[in-house]
Amino acid sequence: MHRFLLTGVLLLFSMASSAQFILKGKVTDAETGDPIAFANVLIQGTSVGVTTDFEGEYLIRTQTQGDSLTVSYLGYTTQSKKIQKLNEQTINFQLWPEAFELGTFVFEAGENPAFEIIRRASDRRKDFDKRSLEAYQTKNYTKIEVDIDNLSEDFRQRKSVRTVTAVLDSIRELTNDEGEKILPVFFSETVSQFFYRNNPELRKEIIEKTKVTGVGITDGSTTSQITGSVFQEYNFYKNWLRILEKDFISPIADGWKTYYDYDLMDSVLVGQDSCYKLQVYPRREQDLAFTGTIWIKKADYSLKQVDLTIPKAANLNFVERIKIQQELEHTSAGPLIPSKTRVLLKIGQITDDTAGLLAKFYTATDSVLVNQPKPTSFFNQAVELKPDFSSYSSDFWKSIRPDPLSDEELAVLQMVDTLKRIPIIRFYSEGLKFFATGYLPIKKIDLGPWTEFGNYNNVEGLRMGMGLRSNFKFSNKWLLEGYAAYGLVDQRWKYKLAATYILDRIRWTTLQVRSSRELDQVGLEMENLEGNSVFLAASRFGTLRRPFVSTNQRLVFQREFFKGFLFTAGINHFQFDPLFDFYYQAKGSNELKSQFKTTEIRGGIRYGRDELIIINDNTRASFGPNRWPIVALNFAKGIQSLGGDIRYTKLNFYLYQRLTMGILGVGRYELDAGKIWGEVPYPVLKNHLGNETFFYTTAAFNTMNFNEFASDKFVSLRYRQSFEGFLLNSLPLIKKLKWRMVGNANVLFGSVRNENIQNVPSIDPFGNPLKTFGRLDPSKPYVELGYGIENIFKFFRVDFFHRMTYLDQPEAKPFHVKVSAQIIL
């Protein structure tokens, strides 16, 4: 009997000792609710532990239950929770971010052992950079969520905000563990195909399916073009990653040792791959560099995973945190393509009584196909929507998602759908769009631009106006637009009427007819300021210099023959009616005239090799070039027929490029050159734009007076440098202010032929003296140099300019101080 009892006890003990305990859960960021991938989860007092996967989830199977579970990760506070006496249990963690202190890490004498690993990874960058492939294509699922967070009590107590929160009381509130509420305002899901081709480097995304819901979002087709993966590309095999128009240095870039320090933390198994786990730290916390963790495969020194953050101390405005997580997989040809990418962008409160912004981006990639390039013509349109891109049910989205939406994301969808129907929310969102775009959508037409509604100057007095344009709901073939304005003092009507017919949206082809009558200024014509409505409105305010009434009739044809190559041709009839004392001597005559007409036959080409352009309803919107310059060549022939009085020829060349210059920041240059053949009045010449105001502008020579110089042959080079945090990031007191140095160098060569000088009389027919125009010495350039500080109190900029030449000109000043305000990150 005792033997059987002893055997039973031993059997029960054996069963108990072999019992398996299951611990599972999810680790998330307490501020944002985002998963924390690659966090360490450990049963305290044991060596049993795992790391969380890309979704922040963990699963531990163990025979040792333990008393508590601890989660830790660099940049977050460590947290522990009790383990209950259950065989299977779920324990979730919400970790709070904490400030990262570089000074807490100490490296021993001699070379850091991590350096050799980084050196080899950097040396093999070309082997694993996906840009080394001849071509690749992927199928992508992209998810974007935008929330308002940091809802301060003062903000919540505003009357308009209380109205919103009252309506949302019936919906599950989204909070973190500390009860900090977030207010979702946008959610989108997109399925697309992404195509890349090397030599020439071309990209294209076809949006196959998309679902967009958001406060103030009224046009899914336009919004859907920027919710795909083409705008979520983060390639750490580049030296520099452009994020929010800022350039951040990669931890494995060529100059890694200048920017980073490293700590070899461990040797770990990630999936089936043995990897080095390294912590990376910026040498100067204000630099545009990352901090976090990277995993490098031992076998070939390729990146396996990255979890990197741009810390709050970096020289950025308003941005509290940017976090990028990636898992990378080898293609059949060797180079790596991210299989999953998660990006978090946290914008802080501008003032204490406002709210912050939280944006989350997630992209999953599969169906990778390499080295099967599409023809160049395939890439004509950078982002293309399939005709039925939005006609998919909720069941379809459930079936196509790589992972189901979490309970929090489902609550987000419900909240956004409710928010956008609240009248006060619609009022504010439409008002914000009206201010930003200049137009207010009203069914099939848009009211605006608001810059035409009112102005005041010495010629017109109070100017009042109104404008309308058709939108995509009216037609996807026709764009009709126009405005009318009236000055109470000059009692003249001004107007613009235009009709554009879109012949082809793939190879962008349009035909436009336009008629306008407007108040212009010599050297500051409205035609040159189109697309900059705020500056155009400002140029009409106050005292107008050499004003005239311009009347135009124009016919313009445009076609994009291949990716980035836009051809323009047309004819323009122009009438000049001066409102100041102006006369010129007509060619072959002693007669003095004050009015003239021109008829121009025009042609032009523009090429942006890697410029990203999307179709925004019935217009095109550029997101700028990446690496290559934008080149433009324009030709105009003035003819003495079809109402023209003058015969001449114009040729103009323009070149613009943005230069990433590493530690020196970002440079931008504009080369502008032109020549005019024929005898013409000086308003037809190139009247170089000066700036007598107290405000800095990139459009003008900031030490030149208005109408000081004109040329019929010229070349100018305008260069400006943003040094970001160069040098100032290293100064102990200044670096906390986050000031940034800027520089300018502008050079102009120009000349005027004798016949264009002689046709300008010094006195009018009544014997009164006339204003003429200044000419440049062909052998002596106009030079101005500038330097300054931007980001003063996050908004202001002060520039100091020195006029280096032509100091003997009337009213020339050798030194100028210019100020400006700007919102930059």
List pLDDT tens digits, range 517-528.
999 888 877 776
Average pLDDT, the chain: 84
Give the whole-angstrom CA distance, residue 382 versus residue 67.
56
With a CB cutoff of 8 Å and minimum separation 6, the contacts of 729 are: 284, 286, 287, 315, 735
Give the whole-angstrom CA distance, residue 48 versus residue 553.
79
List pLDDT tens digits, range 783-804.
999 999 998 888 889 999 999 9
**Separation of first and last alpha carbons in the chain:** 82
List pLDDT tens digits, range 72-92.
887 788 999 988 888 888 899
Give the whole-angstrom CA distance, residue 529 versus residue 344.
37
What ranges in 124-205 are assigned the alpha helix state H? 125-128, 153-156, 159-167
Categorize the per-residue pLDDT at 513 as very low, low, confident or very high, splitting at 50, 70 and 90. very high
What fold is seen in the domain 2-95? Immunoglobulin-like (2.60.40)
Q: What are phi and psi of 334, to 5 degrees?
A: 115, -55
- The amino acid present at 473, given as its one-letter code, is K
Tokens found for residue 603: 């042609």
Nearest-5° Cα angle at 531, 525 to 533 = 75
Q: What are phi and psi of 775, to 5 degrees?
A: -120, 150
Categorize the per-residue pLDDT at 229 as very low, low, confident or very high, splitting at 50, 70 and 90. low
Does 566 or 199 have the greater pLDDT score?
566
Q: Are 567 and 594 in contact (CB under 8 A)?
A: no
Q: Are 779 and 806 in contact (CB under 8 A)?
A: no
Cite the residue boundaries of each domain of the chain with CATH code 2.60.40.1120. Answer: 2-95
pLDDT, residue 496, reads 94
The DSSP string of 339-351 is EEEEEEEEE--SS
Give the whole-angstrom CA distance, residue 540 versus residue 520.
8
On the question of pLDDT at 178 being above 50, the answer is no
pLDDT, residue 228, reads 63
On the question of pLDDT at 188 being above 90, the answer is no
List pLDDT tens digits, range 623-662.
788 788 999 999 999 999 899 999 999 999 999 999 988 7
pLDDT, residue 5, reads 45
pLDDT, residue 101, reads 53
On the question of pLDDT at 10 being above 70, the answer is no
Give the whole-angstrom CA distance, residue 134 versus residue 731.
45
Does 788 or 183 have the greater pLDDT score?
788
On the question of pLDDT at 436 being above 50, the answer is yes
List pLDDT tens digits, range 420-434.
666 666 666 667 667
Q: Are 318 and 349 in contact (CB under 8 A)?
A: no
> Quick one: average pLDDT of 371-380?
88
On the question of pLDDT at 756 being above 70, the answer is yes
Q: Are 236 and 198 in contact (CB under 8 A)?
A: no
pLDDT, residue 794, reads 81
Best CA proximity match to 247, nearest among 656, 625, 735, 663: 663
On the question of pLDDT at 337 being above 90, the answer is yes
Exposure of 821 in the CB half-sphere (CA atoms within 13 A): 2
> Quick one: average pLDDT of 718-738?
85
Which DSSP symbol is given to 114? H
Report if pTM > 0.85. Answer: no
List pLDDT tens digits, range 105-142.
444 556 788 999 999 999 999 999 999 999 999 999 98
795 CB burial (10 A radius; 0-12, 13-18, 19+): middle
E-assigned strand segments in 30-165: 40-43, 49-51, 57-62, 68-72, 79-82, 88-90, 93-95, 135-149
List pLDDT tens digits, range 296-321.
999 999 999 999 998 777 888 888 88
Q: CB 557: neighbour CB atoms within 10 A?
A: 15
pLDDT, residue 14, reads 44
> Quick one: average pLDDT of 488-516?
94
pLDDT, residue 20, reads 73
Choose the most confident range, by mean pLDDT, from 225-239, 377-391, 484-498, 581-595: 484-498
